[in-house]
Amino acid sequence: MTARVLLVSPDGMLGRAFESELSGDAAVELHCLRYPAIDLTRPDTLEAITLLEPRVVINCAAYTDVDGAESNEALATSINGDGVGALAARCRSIGATLVHFGTDYVFDGHGSSPYPIDAPVAPAGAYARSKARGEVLLGESGVDHLYVRTSWLYAPWAKNFVRTIARHAKTRAELKVVDDQRGRPTSSEHLARTALALLEGGARGTFHVTDGGECTWFELARFVVAELGLADRCTVLPCTSAEYPTPTKRPPYSVLDLSKTEARVGPMPDWRTQVRDVLGRLEPL
Ligand SMILES: NC(=O)c1ccc[n+]([C@@H]2O[C@H](COP(=O)([O-])OP(=O)(O)OC[C@H]3O[C@@H](n4cnc5c(N)ncnc54)[C@H](OP(=O)(O)O)[C@@H]3O)[C@@H](O)[C@H]2O)c1
């Protein structure tokens, strides 16, 4: 017997990872809905979910422009907050399990040890507030759910830090990258596989999934350039966030604690192993 799974927004960075993971799974009858057929700002479009009657809904739709959210908070909240609440209510009404994703940015970012699942939520910027509202509404909805906070996503495709550094390293003699923000990079593909393993293992509630290890953006960039064999042509230099002000202040420390996840599905592979794997498969830059 196959399980009917609905993937919401299969074209984003994480959505693509889920689609490729699930499309070859004989135990899954995969359906995809993309914007504008499904628009989290328009609850009427959620009727499509009711008609499909999926057993599981995986939500990869989000407003992810962290800086843009500062001047578009209403839209970010409509998608990441109220939209998620409406999606959760709809899933509950048809008895579907909802898989949804959150961010390290919901924490205050001033810690010095990994943030546990139940650390106090204290979002600093508009994007983080919108995602925090989504967390609250998901919990209040009463839907059967798996909620996964993650951070610093990369993949062989889409706009992400690893691809951006790989592109710049080919044409620039020097790159300055912030060295005062510490976190955990996350392979989107490994995240999708881990979320599915948690789901299949019956995990429900909140989990953290990232790569293992931790680093700063500078350390990640230096690794990418070295792995591409470009270190003699492109020098990566550390700098401070103050040298590169952005509309949203990024958390200096946003390492997510993985112990609950690792107790269920084993250790998360180190970020260096995962980044190396992705660098070998980068789509044209
Ligand atoms: N990227 C990261 O580093 C990161 C870090 C922590 C957590 N996360 C979380 O991980 C999840 C996946 O992120 P991602 O990087 O894969 O995102 P992404 O690449 O930006 O993809 C988001 C998808 O949502 C779609 N979308 C936008 N507005 C929509 C709406 N109103 N209704 C329905 N779909 C809409 C987008 O479509 P269009 O492309 O057509 O706009 C896009 O396909 C999100 O929940 C995000 O908050 C990401």
pLDDT digits (tens, 9 = 90+) for 187-204: 999 999 999 999 999 999
CB of 64 sitting under 6 A from ligand 1: yes
pLDDT at 245: 85
* Domains assigned to the chain: 3-159+185-212+254-271 (3.40.50.720)
pLDDT at 61: 98
Low-confidence ranges of the chain (pLDDT < 50): none
**Number of the ligand 1 atom closest to the C-alpha atom of 186:** 3
User: Nearest residue CA, atom 1 of ligand 1?
Assistant: 153
CA of 143 to the centre of ligand 1 (A): 21
**Any idea which residues carry the catalytic annotation?**
127
The model's pLDDT over 21-48, given as tens digits with 9 standing for 90+, comes to 999 899 999 999 999 999 999 999 999 9
**The whole model's pTM is what?**
0.98
Output 89-95 pairs: Cβ under 8 A, ≥24 positions apart.
Answer: 89/141, 89/143, 90/43, 90/46, 90/49, 90/50, 91/49, 91/57, 91/141, 91/143, 91/144, 91/145, 92/141, 92/142, 92/143, 92/144, 93/50, 94/49, 94/50, 94/53, 94/54, 95/144
pLDDT at 216: 98
CA of 61 to the centre of ligand 1 (A): 5
